Structure 1
Amino acid sequence: MIDMLVNLYELPDSSELYQKLHDQGIILRRANAYERHIVADWVGEHFSPKWVSEVKVAFSRQPITCYIATRNKEILGFACIETTAKGFYGPTGVSDAARGTGIGKALLLRTMEALKESGYVYGIIGGVGPIEFYKKAVGAVEIPNSTPGIYRDILPD
C-alpha cells in the first residue's frame, strides 16, 4: 500500500466540521494518560492487535499523540500520530455504528493540525487504504515508490 503526503499549510478549515460534531454531542479531544487501558482495549476489540501496540506508543509520548471522539463517555473513534515513525499519521478507526458522521475526517484534521502545531510542514499517511478519502479530505498526494514503505517485513500476528 502506498504512502501519501499532506501539505500541512494547505489544510482545509475544520471549524464547521468540529461544530457539527459538537452539535451532535460528540467530543473530539486528546486522550488522557489514565485512559490508556480503555482506549487500547477498545482498539483491540474493534481493530487490529498491531494497532493496539501503536496506540500504546501514542500514550507513551508527551504530550500524548492519540486523539479520540466520544459521545456520552463512549469511544466512537480514534486517531494517532507519530507511533510508527516521526510525522506519520495512523492508526485510525471509527466504530461501525459511528461511520458516516464525519468523525474520521475530523480526527484526521485534528491530528494533522497537531503535526503542524509540532512544527512539521508535511505529514505522512503510511500504507494508505482509502486513497480517495485522503485526497478529498486533506489534499493528500501519493508518494511515488513508497510501497511497501516502512511496513516491510512485518511479523505475523
Structure 2
Amino acid sequence: MTDHPVLRTATESDVPALRILARAALVHDDDAEEVFDLLWRQSADRPSLRIVAELDGEPAGLALGALSAATERTPATGYIDLLAVHPSQQSRGTGRALTARLEELLSQAGVERLMLRGRPPYYAWPGIDIRYTRAICLAGSSGYTRGPDGLNLHVDLVTAPLDTAADEERLAAAGVRIRRLTPADEKPFLTWMRQWGGSWDGEAAGALAHDPPRGHVAVRETAGVEGSDGSADRDGFVYVGFACHGVNRRSWFGPMGTDASERGLGVGTVLLRRCLADQRAAGLDHAEIGWTGPIHFYARAVDARLGRVFWTYSKSI
C-alpha cells in the first residue's frame, strides 16, 4: 500500500470507476453521474486536462479542466470544472495535488486567468456550492479570490402554478404566439440568439440538440417582413422571446430572455411555465433556476424559493 496517490492522465477506460467516484464525492448533487458525463465530454478537446489521483490501483480523486481562448473582453482563461475527491481521502492533500497539477497544465497552455467554475456553455454550476466546505477551504488556501455569488432558485414542480392556457390566448390576441422550438428553427433562431451575447446562443444550440427540443419561443407575426437581423421564421414571424431547460442538467432551467419591445406582456411567465411543465412531464418533482438574476420575477411567477448558493473564485497567473 502507498500513502500518497499517484497523479496521471485519465483515460476512457477509467470512466466507469470515475462515475462511481463522482457519486461518492458529490453528495449534494443527485445527478452526480450525469454531471461527470457532461464535463468529461466537454473536456474531450483537451484530454490532457483529465487528471486522476490513483491510490493502490483505485481512483481517489479526479480533476477536469478546460480553457477558453482570449477575446476582446476577456483574457485566455483556464477552468477547473470538476474537483472530486473520495470522502475517505479528503483533507489528505489529494485535492490540493490535483488542483496544483491542473493549474500547471493550464498555465503551460498559456492562460492568464484561472477560475473555479464551469466553462460556458457546457457548465454544471456557476461556482462551488458552499455546502462543499472542504472545497471552499481549498480555494481560499490556494490563492483564489472570491468573486460574485451565484444563486439558484428552487421550484416545487408538484405545487407550482404552471397552467398557461389563458395567458397564451391573451397573448395570441395581441399578436404573440408561444410554441415549442423545432429542428427547423435552428438557423434563424440561433442567428437571433446572437444578440443576447455571452454563451446563450451555445446553450440554445444545446436545447435544440435534444429530441424534442428543450425550449419554447415567443414569435410575433410580421406580415412577411423580415426582421433587421434576418430572424423571420418560416411562417413569417420574428422571435421575441425564448426559454430553455435541461440544457446541461435535466433539472435546471435557463437561459431565458424576452425582447425589450415585448416586456410587460407576460411573455416570460408563459415561457417559464411551459419549460417547467416539460420538466414535470419528464418525471421531475423539482427544478432549479440556475444562476438567477431577477429573483422577484421567478418568485411571483412560479413560487420559486432561494436554494443553492455558489461562490465563484478566480486568480491571475
The TM-score, its normalising length taken from structure 2, stands at 0.45
The whole-number CA distance in structure 2 between the counterparts of 1:100 and 1:118 is 30
Give the letter aligned to residue 31 of structure 1: L
Measured in 1, the distance between the counterparts of 2:197 and 2:156 equals 28
Question: Comparing both structures, which one devotes a greater share of its residues to helix?
Answer: 1
Q: Which has the larger radius of gyration?
A: 2
Alignment coverage as a number of residue pairs? 149
CA displacement at 1:153 relative to structure 2: 7.0
Q: Tell me the distance in 2 between the aligned counterparts of 1:131 and 1:76.
A: 22
Q: Contact (CA 8 Å) 2:240, 2:258: kept in 1 or not?
A: yes
Aligned to 1:92: 256
Q: Distance in 1 between matches of 2:204 and 2:193?
A: 8
Higher relative contact order (CA 8 A, sep 6+): 1
Is the CA contact 2:182–2:212 (under 8 Å) kept in the aligned structure 1? no
**Structure-2 residue corresponding to 1:17:** 167
Tell me what 1:122 maps to: 286
Q: Which residue of 1 aligns with 2:200?
A: 51
Stretch deviating more after TM superposition (10-19 or 65-74): 10-19
Can you list the C-alpha shifts for 1:17-55, whole angstroms capped at 9, x where unaligned? 12211221211111110211211111112x124001100
Aligned-pair CA distance for 1:98: 0.8
Question: Out of 159, 179, 182, which is 1:29 matched to?
Answer: 179
User: Partners of 2:174 and 2:216 in 1: how far apart?
Assistant: 18
- Distance, in Å, in 1 between the alignment partners of 2:289 and 2:244 is 11
Is 1:140 the counterpart of 2:304? The answer is: yes
| Structure 1 residues not aligned, in runs of 5+ | none
**1:69-98: CA deviation from partner (whole Å, max 9, x where unpaired):** 001111110000011311111011001111
Q: Partner of 2:154: helix, strand, or coil?
A: strand
User: Could you say what the CA RMSD is over the residues aligned between the two structures, in angstroms?
Assistant: 1.6
State yes or no: 1:67 paired with 2:67: no
- The structure where strand makes up a greater share of residues is 2
1:83 counterpart (225, 242, 247): 247
TM-score, normalised by the number of residues in structure 1:
0.89
Q: What amino acid is aligned across from residue 97 of structure 1 in structure 2? A: S
Q: Structure 2 regions of 5+ residues with no counterpart?
A: 1-149, 222-236
Deviating above 4 A after TM superposition, structure 1's stretches of 4 or more consecutive aligned residues are none
Overall identity of the aligned pairs, in %: 27
Task: Please give the secondary structure, in 1, of the residue aligned with 2:254.
Answer: strand
